[in-house]
Chains A and B, each alone.
Chain A
Amino acid sequence: MIVAAGMSVDVSAQTMTINGAQVHVRENVLMVVNGDVQHLSGEVRVYDDATLRVRGTARLFQGGWYMLLDAYVQVVNDLHISIYGTCWRYAAGSLDVEGSIFNDGDLNNEGEINIGRP
């Protein structure tokens, strides 16, 4: 619990910034961002059966996120896609955004996108 309390305090300060990088989350691996993602440019590719978990808000300014096959991506807060951003959920995995999706760019879904929580 103390750790959880510490995460909530610290999450805004724990931001992964992607600025021109190519991030490959390869098959069957788990990648967790205990905070927000600032995607300024570049690409994130999440491969089959891999998991990317963002325990904060993801902001995609330019470039794209590509979720292949049964890749699973979870964004605990909101997902922002700017006018130059692309978010592409291929079949057949899920993208779970527990907050809202704010889309000014391209949101393509061939699998499942789940928004909110019951």
Chain B
Amino acid sequence: MTTRTRYHRLFVAIASVAIVLATAIPLHSQHLENRATGSVKNSGTIRFKSDTGRYKNAAPFAAITNNVIEFAGTDNLFTDLDGFTASSTVLGQDPAWRVPGLVRYKKTGTARQNLQPRYYTNLENADEAPKWIPDSVFVGGEYLITLSGPRTYNGTFTYDGSQPQYLTSERGMSGNVNRYNNMTIRNSVKNVRDSDEVRMDGIFTGETSAPLRVYGEFYWGSDSYAFADIDIDTVGHLETGRGVSFLHEDVSVRNGDFVIPQGSDTVFVMPTGLIVLRNADTARLVMGARTRLDILGEFRNEHPPLVNVSFDSTSLVHYTGTQTPQIVQATVGTHPYGNLMTSKGVKGANGDVHVYTDLTVNDTNIVMIPHTMSMTTGRALYTNLAEVVGRLRRDLRRGDTSVTYVYNNEETFFNFIAKPDTLTLDSRPQTRPNAYDPTTDVFRKLTVTASGEWQALVRAGYRASDIPSPWDPTASERLLKMYNAYPAPNERALKLTPTLPPTYNRRSLAQSTGIAYVELFGISRSGADNIRLDDGNDLLLRGSRDTLRAIASGRWSNPFTWDEAREPEPIDRVIIDGFTVHVGYVRASDNYAVAERYPDSLSQLVIVGAMQNSSLLFGSTGTFNTFSYVPAAGVDMRIFRQAPALVPTLSQDVTATDIDGGLVVYPSSTITVTNLLLGADATVFNAGRLRVGIP
């Protein structure tokens, strides 16, 4: 072989390699470039096979038709002739330039295929290459997933067709792979097909123009905003996401589930919104543990058995609308609310309302009439003087005598000594109770019914509006007592004094923040007249000034000497019969050292009866030694007890022993009374100064 021949063969070999390389590496761009005068009418398929192939367009939109554009590369694009993606003639840049027909991203292998943010008519992901779906992908028709590799969604995927659309299944359980990130629907009805399952990770926005029909399963991701109606039917299933959800229009459940699952944040039914469960036991609302539903609009259950709801005991339904009244949806005992809260406008109810855990009433009343608010042993909490007006029933079978059970307002409760199975208090402010006397009584009807015997400390709250007209001058809130009030035709009120003295606790309106109360220990459903509140009778609150009776031997100033557990006031009338009452000093009978509050006007009238040990003793403590009854005409002291023996009077008696002496005035003590009436054989022992008449 000559040298020339060898060089020739080397040249040929190098040239061959060069040609092979040149053949393997494209020398030309690989686009479809449709220029200003061009038209592309495609009723077949135009396929871009290179990674960078582009559909470039400068022609008017009308010059383009399309069946299928298939992108088989990694980064295919729609652009203008200069490569820009957003100028006026680029396909898919805005809704008016929406890419007609179908755009299919179809690639084999493992290299990621990037979708372009576009307005598509129909969009398809196919073959096993992973798909990267950016923000701002809009589909106006159908979204197809055909044996596609994993799809990673970023930003917002929007269904925005003007004709009804189906939301395509994506079933990924977490993250944004094979699961939508954000989703927006607009412009027409959207459907989740029966047997389809649509899951998302981010924000759902259903615009006003896009009602949603859920016939399959739809799982929201984080926050959700529904501005149009949602229908759940054909065993559809809609679950709210972990963020807050805002329902601005109706959610109508015909046959399926609206679920607020555990871990979901608050769902708001906005003022224009409504959740309605149609009349079917398969039209269900389910609230999981620690979930919350805030209803500014309405919740309505049209299925009369009301068994189509399930509220976890830790869930909370909060009615917080301002409409008057906002209606609280009734529930049944087998399917009660977990926690129920109300606030803002006045509430009504369309039936009995059952609450399993706590009831919180804020701001304004719940008017239950003619229905019943029914609880078990949970807390009833009130703010801003709100109340439950009407019946509040408690099932107390799981109750405890160590717990205070609040009823219709923050100052009305029962603390049971013996508890019944159930006890209902019907509290109606500004309503006439049985045996009502407008000059002395609280204008509030409190009716107690129970199943089973009970005994309790009872506190009853009332408001200023429950005293609508001026009382008799002798009546007072400080004198409020509880009565067992019978209905017509034999209306009467029996004073309750379960203990002697009765253990009253009171807070007046002046002392209160708006709800005053009177509280009495020991009221019972059965027993003697003085302790019994009959089932169905009213608990009357009466502020009349009754004649005080001594019920124990003790000092005049000691409340526990008297049957109303209070010291007599100048306006009072007093009876001492069978007890020894002393004034002005300490005896061992009660060792009570508080001085008399009104030493110069002890009372209007005092009667010392004829029973054994009936005595009124006047002593002194240093200079505290001068006493008087009200210095006015018509004020009497009447003595009827005859002492069986002389009473020692050299010094005031400080023992605990009863003294049987009628009226006794010890040395250094002075008592003045306008009129002194001594009965037959009555005795008076005066070792101090007894002045009769007004000087």
Write the chain B residue with the least CB distance to A92. B44
In A85-118, the 8 Å CB interface with B consists of 89, 91-92, 98-118
A5 touches B16 (CB 8 A): yes
Is A46 in the interface zone, CB < 8 Å from B? no
CA distance A16 to B39 in the complex (A): 26
Task: Please indicate the chain B residues that have their CB under 8 angstroms from the CB of A117 in the complex.
Answer: 26, 30, 49-50
Partner of B29, one of A89, A100, A108: A100
CA distance A101 to B35 in the complex (A): 10
B30 touches A103 (CB 8 A): no
Task: Please indicate the chain B residues that have their CB under 8 angstroms from the CB of A51 in the complex.
Answer: none
Is B34 in the interface zone, CB < 8 Å from A? yes
Is A73 in the interface zone, CB < 8 Å from B? no
Is B32 in the interface zone, CB < 8 Å from A? yes
A109 touches B42 (CB 8 A): yes
Chain B, residues 30-61, CB within 8 Å of chain A (1/0): the string is 11111111111111111111100100000000
B35 touches A113 (CB 8 A): no
Task: Please indicate the chain A residues that have their CB under 8 angstroms from the CB of B29 in the complex.
Answer: 99-100
Shortest beta-carbon distance, A10 to chain B, in Å? 12
Is A77 in the interface zone, CB < 8 Å from B? yes
Write the chain A residue with the least CB distance to B35. A104
Task: Please indicate the chain B residues that have their CB under 8 angstroms from the CB of A98 in the complex.
Answer: 26, 28, 30
Partner of A107, one of B16, B39, B53: B39
B40 touches A103 (CB 8 A): yes
A109 touches B33 (CB 8 A): no
B15 touches A5 (CB 8 A): yes
* Interface range for B: 20 to 34
Is B680 in the interface zone, CB < 8 Å from A? no
Is B22 in the interface zone, CB < 8 Å from A? yes
Partner of B40, one of A2, A91, A107: A107
Given contacts A5-B12, A77-B28, A98-B30, contact A115 B47 (CB under 8 A): yes
Given contacts A99-B29, A104-B35, A116-B53, contact A109 B19 (CB under 8 A): no
Partner of B31, one of A5, A8, A101, A108: A101
Is B72 in the interface zone, CB < 8 Å from A? yes
B53 touches A78 (CB 8 A): no
CA distance A17 to B33 in the complex (A): 24
B72 touches A118 (CB 8 A): yes
B32 touches A100 (CB 8 A): yes
A102 touches B44 (CB 8 A): no
Partner of B44, one of A1, A78, A105, A109: A109
Shortest beta-carbon distance, A40 to chain B, in Å? 18
Task: Please indicate the chain B residues that have their CB under 8 angstroms from the CB of A100 in the complex.
Answer: 28-33
A2 touches B33 (CB 8 A): no
Chain A, residues 14-35, CB within 8 Å of chain B (1/0): the string is 0000000000000000000000
Is A83 in the interface zone, CB < 8 Å from B? yes
Task: Please indicate the chain B residues that have their CB under 8 angstroms from the CB of A81 in the complex.
Answer: 38
CA distance A99 to B35 in the complex (A): 16
B30 touches A116 (CB 8 A): yes
CA distance A71 to B16 in the complex (A): 32
Task: Please indicate the chain B residues that have their CB under 8 angstroms from the CB of A4 in the complex.
Answer: 16, 19
Task: Please indicate the chain B residues that have their CB under 8 angstroms from the CB of A118 in the complex.
Answer: 49-50, 72-73
Given contacts A4-B19, A98-B26, contact A116 B48 (CB under 8 A): yes
B49 touches A107 (CB 8 A): no
Write the chain A residue with the least CB distance to B72. A118
Shortest beta-carbon distance, B49 to chain A, in Å? 5
Given contacts A99-B26, A99-B29, A117-B30, contact A1 B12 (CB under 8 A): yes
CA distance A107 to B34 in the complex (A): 9
Given contacts A1-B16, A113-B46, contact A105 B28 (CB under 8 A): no
Task: Please indicate the chain A residues that have their CB under 8 angstroms from the CB of B41 in the complex.
Answer: 106-109
Shortest beta-carbon distance, A117 to chain B, in Å? 6
In B40-93, the 8 Å CB interface with A consists of 40-50, 53, 72-73
In A30-69, the 8 Å CB interface with B consists of none
Shortest beta-carbon distance, B633 to chain A, in Å? 123
Shortest beta-carbon distance, B119 to chain A, in Å? 22
Given contacts A5-B16, A8-B19, A115-B32, contact A110 B43 (CB under 8 A): yes
Task: Please indicate the chain B residues that have their CB under 8 angstroms from the CB of A5 in the complex.
Answer: 12, 15-16, 19
Write the chain B residue with the least CB distance to A5. B15
Given contacts A4-B19, A100-B31, contact A109 B43 (CB under 8 A): yes
B34 touches A99 (CB 8 A): no
B43 touches A101 (CB 8 A): no
Shortest beta-carbon distance, B433 to chain A, in Å? 90
Task: Please indicate the chain B residues that have their CB under 8 angstroms from the CB of A115 in the complex.
Answer: 30-32, 46-50, 53
Besides A114-B47, A115-B32, 11 more A-B contacts (Cβ < 8 Å) are A8-B19, A98-B28, A99-B27, A99-B29, A100-B29, A105-B38, A106-B39, A112-B44, A113-B32, A115-B49, A118-B49
Nearest 7 CB-CB pairings of A with B: A116-B30, A99-B28, A116-B50, A103-B38, A1-B16, A109-B42, A116-B49
Q: What are 5 sample pairs from A and B whose C-beta atoms fall under 8 A apart?
A: A2-B16, A99-B26, A102-B35, A103-B38, A116-B73
